[in-house]
């Protein structure tokens, strides 16, 4: 068996061992990838919608603090944001619900949130940890970039999902993102989702090349999840301000994200409800002051 085969698991939605439904279980997933515009928010909202449809109580955190856009994708206009919660407003009063998803909103254009320091990140993780017992699924939509902020937030979740698209820069940034998560957050495993692919072969090629790089230089194993195709329905849904899976459930991208959610359900780190909170604490405390 080659190194690549040993450390790469491929999970395809079509395989017979993929369960037809999503079980309600506890999970905390950070959606990241280094580069902006690769589809992190699209996939974060898509997964949240799929888990809600499966009766999983789902918290979606807009961790792209200063360039927040999940409220737009969900078609809500929150009156309060994470900034208020950090200023002392009870976090429950900041949460908004749309399409069954509970959103912890950030604030687009907020310089204060975009540039907040390590103390504020720690308090943000504390707020999420406080909420975690009320939810089965927590999805963190992490900002682009590989700085201390993004890696501390991504590293706090039990699982990391790296979104990568066919552009060479995306591949380079995905690799950089995994490298930083390994070096600064102790991450030893990540999920990979090729997005905006025009063929299955293109998705396989992306995964193959990224795996080769990671195997060569990093002590991280990758699990490939079903790819999401390029699909105009994605931007149609964004313009409508309705989650793709609600707006165009039969579109190719929506179906692929549903397959992705099922595959991830099988493969995600199995947590009990209290372990979700513990997962946050473990990562978050082991990250130490420096990387927060």
Ligand X SMILES: Nc1ncnc2c1ncn2[C@@H]1O[C@H](COP(=O)(O)OP(=O)(O)O)[C@@H](O)[C@H]1O
Please give the residue ranges that form the binding site for ligand X (CB under 6 A): 36-42, 195-196, 228, 230-231, 234-235, 238, 253
Q: How far is the CB of 125 from ligand X (least distance, A)?
A: 20
In a 3-state reduction of DSSP, which class is residue 136? coil
Closest CA to 221 of 192, 185, 195: 192
Closer residue to ligand X (CB): 46 or 78: 46
d(CA 96, CA 104): 7
CB of 149 to ligand X, least distance (A): 16
Binder of residue 231, out of Mg ion, ligand X, none (CB less than 5 to 8 A by kind): ligand X
Q: Which is nearer to Mg ion, 7 or 42 (CB)?
A: 42
Looking at beta carbons only, is 54 or 193 nearer to ligand X?
A: 193
26/32 with CB nearer ligand X: 32
Tell the smallest beta-carbon distance from residue 150 to Mg ion (Å): 12
Which backbone phi and psi does 182 adopt, to 5 degrees?
-70, -45
Task: Give the span between the Cα atoms of 146 and 255, in whole angstroms.
Answer: 30
Could you tell me how many residues make up the chain? 292
Task: Indicate the residue among 39 and 243 with the shorter CB distance to ligand X.
Answer: 39
Beta carbon of residue 144, minimum distance to ligand X (angstroms, whole number): 6
Closer to ligand X at the Cβ: 101 or 129? Answer: 101
> Is 176 exposed, middle or buried, given 0-12, 13-18 or 19+ CB atoms closer than 10 A?
middle
- State how far the Cα of 47 lies from the Cα of 39, in Å rounded to an integer: 12
Residue 153, token pair as written in the block: 């937030």
**Alpha-carbon distance values, 165 to 54, 80, 189, 195 (Å):** 27, 33, 19, 5
Distances (CA, A) of 101 to 141, 178, 223: 14, 28, 26
Q: How far is the CB of 185 from ligand X (least distance, A)?
A: 20
Selection from Mg ion, ligand X, none that 134 binds (CB < 5 to 8 A by kind) is: none
Q: Which residue's CB atom is positioned nearest to Mg ion?
A: 41
Nearest distance in Å: CB 86, Mg ion: 21
Residue 38: contacted member of Mg ion, ligand X, none (CB under 5 to 8 Å, by partner type): ligand X
- The least CB distance from residue 66 to ligand X, in Å, is 13
Residue 195 interacts, among ligand X, Mg ion, none and using kind-specific CB cut-offs from 5 to 8 Å, with ligand X
Judged by beta carbon, residue 33 or residue 194, the one nearer Mg ion is: 33
SS (H, E, C) 200-254: HHHHHHHHHHHHHHHHHHCCCEEEECCCEECCCHHHHHHHHCCCHHHHCCCCHHH
Binding stretches for Mg ion (CB under 5 A): 40-41, 64
57 Rama sector, left if φ>0, alpha if ψ -120 to 50, beta otherwise = beta
């Amino acid at each position: 068996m080659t190194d690549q085969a040993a450390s790469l698991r491929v999970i395809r939605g079509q395989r017979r061992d993929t369960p037809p439904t999503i079980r309600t279980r506890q999970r905390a997933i950070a959606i990241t990838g280094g580069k902006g515009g690769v589809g992190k928010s699209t996939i974060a909202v898509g997964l949240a919608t799929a888990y809600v449809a499966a009766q999983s109580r789902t918290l979606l955190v807009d961790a792209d603090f200063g360039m927040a856009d999940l409220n737009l994708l969900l078609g809500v206009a929150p009156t309060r944001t994470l900034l208020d919660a950090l200023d002392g407003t009870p976090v429950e009063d900041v949460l908004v619900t749309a399409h069954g998803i509970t959103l912890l909103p950030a604030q687009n254009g907020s310089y204060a949130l975009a540039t907040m320091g390590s103390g504020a990140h720690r308090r943000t993780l504390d707020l999420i940890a406080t909420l975690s017992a009320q939810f089965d699924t927590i999805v963190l939509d992490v900002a682009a970039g590989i700085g201390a902020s993004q890696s501390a937030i991504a590293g706090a979740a039990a699982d990391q999902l790296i979104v990568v698209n066919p552009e060479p820069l995306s591949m380079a940034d995905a690799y950089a993102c995994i490298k930083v998560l390994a070096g600064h957050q102790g991450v030893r495993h990540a999920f990979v989702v090729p997005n905006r692919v025009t063929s299955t072969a293109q998705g396989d090629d992306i995964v193959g090349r990224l795996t080769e790089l990671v195997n060569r230089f990093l002590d991280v194993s990758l699990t490939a999840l079903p790819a999401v195709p390029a699909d105009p329905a994605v931007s149609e849904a964004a313009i409508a301000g309705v989650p793709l899976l609600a707006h165009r459930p039969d579109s190719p991208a929506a179906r692929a994200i549903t397959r992705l959610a099922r595959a991830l359900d099988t493969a995600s780190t199995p947590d009990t409800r209290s372990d979700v909170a513990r997962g946050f604490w473990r990562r978050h405390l082991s990250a130490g002051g420096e990387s927060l």
